[in-house]
Structure formats: structure tokens, C-alpha cells
Structure 1
Amino acid sequence: MSALSVLLPVRNAVTTIARAVASVQAQTWTDWELVVVDDGSTDGTRAWLRAAARAEPRLRLIEQPAQGIVAALNAGLAAARGRFIARMDADDECHPERLAVQTAFLADHPTIGLVACRVGYGGDRSVQAGYAHHVDWQNGLVTPDQIALNRFVESPLAHPSVMFRREVVERHGGYRDGDWPEDYELWLRWLEAGVAMAKVPRELLTWHDPAGRLSRTDPRYGPEAFFRVKAGYVAREVGRLRGPDPEVWIWGAGRPTRKRAAMLTEHGVRIVGYVDIDPRKTGNRVGGVPVIGPEALPPPGSIFVLGYVGKRGARETTRAALTQRGYREGRDFLMGA
């Protein structure tokens, strides 16, 4: 049995699969199996993989009709034999020391259930500046506290960069199918269950950004899907911090923010007011609740605030304003966008 299984689902990636497999074969850590799940490829990927499996005994090919990414991932999890499981995608590249560094990290930190790494952005920063900014944001989250506190902003981990313990899957379950990004739902569920996650502060994977990737073409990876899936997790976390039937103030009174924050009410959260820096909005009432400026916030401990403004730079402004007023992140407020 290998100490490590690398799980790689693939469909129609004949132009990139050789590069991805070669990057695993080039690892300094050699005790691995590469579990490749071909999910109904029709472009020559499967033929290439069959030939590669004949030449590389550590490559285990699972063939299935097209069932989708979640079915492919769970088929791979069921087949994986390693104590640790690393993710990999068919259009990305591992750096040579990735598996060695992450395996050593998990061996040295028994309380950590999952470790990711920083990733290099393999796209055009001038064309896809928003996604590049997201990669930079992710790379800044390294410690378990940073990852946990920012988990409701966006996915704090690049999916193909993670390695986790098999026991975490056995205890808390694998991927779930639904109208949400399957990796983000998994991180939220595991974090809620108390799984500590960290990140090696080294760039150990190149995360490519092709135009046809699922996160660009499938509505399950759109902004509204992220807000839907995290609403229940946010509500439960606020309930844990504030007790049943929690009341919250939402930072941000614009229509998109209110629409997304309203998803929380379906999970028992009561929005009692909005905070906004725009003087044209303060002093009004929206949906029957007041809109106040930051200067009118009650003292820390008396209310709970969720930062739901997604405009670039607004999160940092919101966090700084609340911190300056004595609010403590994770106790008095959380960032949700």
C-alpha cells in the first residue's frame, strides 16, 4: 500500500494530461499511487491514459461513463489506498517537492487534518485580473486561524493544492453533489466539524486558468452559488457564537448585498439592521430595519456584525473599522464577502 494517493479526475484533457502526469512522476517523494478517474472522455484522453498506465505501474486508471466531477472524485476516494490523499487536476502542474513537503507537514503536525500550499497563477493576469487577485488572496491565508476566519469570504484553498488524511474522509464524508462548488462545500463542512487546515507557505503548484475550466463555465461555481452554500454554515457559526435565533447587523446596505444576506434568513438568522458608509443610505430604513453609519455602532459585545460587502477593498476597510472600534473577528464579527 502506498503512503500517498494522488487523486486526479479527468474528462477530455488530452492537451494537458501528459504534463500533469509528468509533474507527478517528477516528484522527489516516490512512494505514491496516482488514481486517475476518467469520467467519460471522448477526445483521446482515455487512450493516452491506458498507454500511460501500462508504462507506469503506479498509475491506476478507473474508467467510468460521464457522471460528473463529484462522482469521479468519490470514485477516486473509494479506490485510493494511501494514508494521505492529495488532489490534482488534469490542467495543473505539481512542483517537484510538493508531495514531499506536504507529506512531511502532515507527519509533523498530527492535529492538522488538511494542508494546502501556495499556488502560482498560470493565467494571464492582465486579462483575468479578478481571478489573479483571488489567487493572491488565497496565498495570503496560511495559518489555521487565517483559513477558518476567512472561510465565509470565498474558498480559502485551491482545490488541486490540498492534501488530507484519509481518516478525515472516513469521519466526515467526501464530496456532495448539489448546486454548489463541491470543494468549497467540503471545506466548510470539514471546518465546521473542527478539522484544522493549514497551508505550506511555499508555491508548490501551478494553477492554470484555461477558458473552459468548470469554474468559468458551470453555474455551480458562480457567485450566487457560493453565497447559497455558505448561508447555512454562516448561520450555524453565528448561532454557535451568539446562541439560538441569532440577530445580526449586515455591513453593506446595497441591493446585491441585501439580496445575498437575505439567504441567511432562510436558516434562522434575523437581520436587525445594516451598516453603511454611504451617507445617502444612513438614516433610512430598508425592509423595516435601520441603516446606520459605522460611528453609530453599539459597543462591542452588544451586537454581531457580518461583513457582506464584496467590492474590492471594502473588506479590508470594514475589517479595519470594526477592529478599531474594539470588535474582535471571530467573536463580534465575521467577514462573509
Structure 2
Amino acid sequence: MHPEVSVILPFFNAELSLQRAIDSVLQQSFTTFELLLINNNSTVKSEEIAKQAAQNDSHIVLLNEKTPGVANAMNCGLKNARGRFISRMDADDVAHPEKLQKQYNYLENNPSVDFVGSEVEYVPHIEENKGFRRFVDWVNSFHTPEEIKLKQFIEIPVINPTIFFRRQLFEKYGGCRDGNFPEDYEMQLRYLSHGAIMAKLPEKLLEWHDYSTRLTRTDKRYSTEAFFQTKAVYFKQWSKKNNPFHPNIWIWGAGRKTRQRSAFLQEHGLNIEGYIDIKKTKPDAIFYKELPQPGKLFIVSMVTNTGAGEKIREFLHQRNYCEGKDFILMG
């Protein structure tokens, strides 16, 4: 039977969790799928687990991608996928039995939506990381296409192993790009920049297991600076369409780190007219309480302190600034 859904699961030295991840896909209530296991130069032990699984279940296709990197492994899966829909899975994680069915139903019933994720259950295997926990709480807190559009420059809006999308997206706009940037975030921003509609189911359909070996912890391509560089590329395109004062912007945050990161925007042609700060002691910055009425400038908030973004949004809303028209959060 031709598969409706192609589940792409890249793996690299994942012998401790690979079987569990595979089993969670094979135990799905939705059955018209293929599971593409992409071996990306793993040890013999991981490869043997995958080979045995492929021998035991006809849903599974084992592929080898010799070029290192998860982007290359993902692209190997995309090139070989036969389904109308693409689902992503990580070797560390566990899919809820209803994940594929619920995401498939959602896209079938919502033809205007191209891409759907879900909430996740955070499962730490190391000492509790408050930053990761805050990120999960944040990413689980919004679901609509409108919210995703407005929050896309804060952080990755959909956790990658929850994604489920129409194959036309990568046929039109490409798959993963390999470089010194977070490939999953870049792909989502690229799709959004082309007008893709993304949503998220308000259910925890994946256990997101956090190990010390997770790439987001160990690879410099997932550093905060790499994220800001990626944001800068796509914010320029967004600004052209949405900022009435493009390329002119004001940066909320006048500290050293914020100025360094705002330089990424300048490199892509944005013109920083000035800075806004909560302290009156910054001689080259506007004191935040002295902002003009809406319609005079466009603000990009780049403050990353915990909770600062929500306070800035609340303050600007009180001043009748409209998010997406008068300001955007980027941190």
C-alpha cells in the first residue's frame, strides 16, 4: 500500500533510545505510513538495531547518509519519501500513539494549513535545566497561525520532532540547509517567509527527551548567536512586508549584548535609528516612558532577560502599540 505519511527518523549513535523511538512510531493508531530510518554514520550497535527493526516490519525502510549532519540525513529522507505528508521524529523521543492520526486529520480538515506541530512533554535526563523548561512552557503556550507568525523571531515556534507537513512545502521551497545555523529553525523561518501557514495542536503528542548529548546543547550551530544571525536573515524579508518604516527600526535594549546582536540586522540592510532602554542613564537611548505615540517608528525588542519580552509587550500594548504593525519581539 502506498504510504500517506513518511516519518523521517535520522539517527547517530542512538543505541540507548533508538528502539524506543522506533516502537513509538510502529505503535501508532494511524497505519498508512512508512518509517524512514536514516543512518548518519552510526556505530555498529545502532545500525544493528535499525537493521533488525527493518527486517521485522515492512513499514520500515533503512537508508544510509554518509555526509555528516542532521540536515543531510533529513534531506536523504525527503528525497526518498513517498508520502503526501512528512513527519519528523528524533531518535531520542517518544511519539504519542495518536500523534500521526491527529496531525493527519488536522491537515486533511484544514486545507489552508501547510504545517502542524504539537505541544511536547518535557522529559529531562540530566539535572533540571530551567532555561529548557521555560522554553517548553513558552512553546506549548501558543497554537494558532497568527500567534506563530508573531512569535517566529523569539525562538523556534514549533519543536522540530513534532512537525508534520505537506510534501509540497519542500518541493517548492527546499528541505534542510546545512550550515553554521540551526537547520530546523532556518527551515521554519524560510517556509514562513514564503507564506506557509503553520499551526500547532494544543495537545502533548511527543515526549521530548533532554539528554546532555542533544545537539541543541553540544553544537555551536544552536548557540544563541547562531539563532540571532538566522533571525536577521528572515527578519529583513519580514520587515519589507510588514514594517511601514522599512528599513528603519528602533531597538529596545541598549546594553552591550543587544547592540552586538543588533549588528546582525545592520549587516542585512536594516537601519537602526536609535535605541530604547529602561534606564535614563544611556545618553544615546530614548527612555522607554518617553516613546512617541504609535505610528512614528517601528520597534524590535531584542532583550533576552527572562520575562522581559512579556513585560515589554504588555507595556507597548498599554501604549496602544500593535504587535506586528508597530513592534515585534526578537528575544
With the shorter chain as reference, the TM-score category is over 0.9
- 1:299 corresponds to: 293
- 2:257 corresponds to: 256
Compute the TM-score of the two structures, normalised by the length of structure 1.
0.96
Looking at structure 1, the residues matched to 322 and 127 of structure 2 have their Cα atoms a distance apart, in angstroms, of 36
Percent sequence identity over aligned pairs: 43
Looking at structure 2, the residues matched to 309 and 172 of structure 1 have their Cα atoms a distance apart, in angstroms, of 31
Looking at structure 2, the residues matched to 238 and 309 of structure 1 have their Cα atoms a distance apart, in angstroms, of 19
1:191 partner letter: L
Determine helix, strand or coil for the equivalent of 1:127. coil
Determine helix, strand or coil for the equivalent of 1:116. strand
1:93 partner letter: V
Deviations 1:159-211 (A, max 9, x none): 00010000111111111111100000000000010000000000000000000
Looking at structure 1, the residues matched to 64 and 298 of structure 2 have their Cα atoms a distance apart, in angstroms, of 50
What's the CA shift for 1:126?
6.0
Retained in 1: the 8 A contact 2:244–2:325?
no
Task: Report the CA distance shift for 1:48/1:124 in structure 2 as closer, same or farther (over 3 A).
Answer: closer
Structure 1 segments, 4+ long, off by >3 Å, are 242-245
- 1:10 corresponds to: 11
What's the CA shift for 1:244?
7.7
What's the CA shift for 1:20?
0.2
2:310 partner letter: E
Which range moves more in the overlay, 79-88 or 243-252?
A: 243-252
- 2:203 corresponds to: 202
- 1:30 corresponds to: 31
Which range moves more in the overlay, 74-83 or 240-249?
A: 240-249
1:310 aligns with 2:304: yes
Determine helix, strand or coil for the equivalent of 1:112. coil
Retained in 2: the 8 A contact 1:276–1:293?
yes
What's the CA shift for 1:242?
3.2
2:212 partner letter: A
Looking at structure 2, the residues matched to 144 and 169 of structure 1 have their Cα atoms a distance apart, in angstroms, of 19
Task: Report the CA distance shift for 1:328/1:77 in structure 2 as closer, same or farther (over 3 A).
Answer: same
**Equivalent residue runs for 1:151-300 within 5 Å:** 151-242=152-243, 246-281=247-282, 284-285=283-284, 291-300=285-294
Deviations 1:23-77 (A, max 9, x none): 0111111111001100011141111111110101110000232521111100000
2:297 partner letter: I
1:299 partner letter: Q
Deviations 1:82-127 (A, max 9, x none): 0011000001000110110000000000010000000000116962
Looking at structure 2, the residues matched to 303 and 333 of structure 1 have their Cα atoms a distance apart, in angstroms, of 9
Looking at structure 2, the residues matched to 222 and 5 of structure 1 have their Cα atoms a distance apart, in angstroms, of 30
Deviations 1:265-306 (A, max 9, x none): 11111111111112322xx02xxxxx0112211111110000
- 1:319 corresponds to: 313
Retained in 2: the 8 A contact 1:13–1:43?
no
1:110 partner letter: P
Task: Report the CA distance shift for 1:144/1:256 in structure 2 as closer, same or farther (over 3 A).
Answer: same
Deviations 1:244-271 (A, max 9, x none): 8511111111110111011101111111
Looking at structure 1, the residues matched to 242 and 210 of structure 2 have their Cα atoms a distance apart, in angstroms, of 38
- 2:322 corresponds to: 328
Deviations 1:143-172 (A, max 9, x none): 001111000011011100010000111111
Determine helix, strand or coil for the equivalent of 1:179. coil
What's the CA shift for 1:327?
0.7
Q: Any stretches of 5+ residues in structure 2 without a counterpart?
A: none
Looking at structure 1, the residues matched to 127 and 313 of structure 2 have their Cα atoms a distance apart, in angstroms, of 28
RMSD: 1.3
Determine helix, strand or coil for the equivalent of 2:114. strand
What's the CA shift for 1:238?
1.6
1:313 partner letter: G
Q: Any stretches of 5+ residues in structure 1 without a counterpart?
A: 286-290
- 1:133 corresponds to: 134
Looking at structure 2, the residues matched to 242 and 256 of structure 1 have their Cα atoms a distance apart, in angstroms, of 24
Looking at structure 2, the residues matched to 43 and 159 of structure 1 have their Cα atoms a distance apart, in angstroms, of 27
Determine helix, strand or coil for the equivalent of 1:216. helix
Looking at structure 2, the residues matched to 128 and 208 of structure 1 have their Cα atoms a distance apart, in angstroms, of 12
Which range moves more in the overlay, 104-113 or 294-303?
A: 294-303
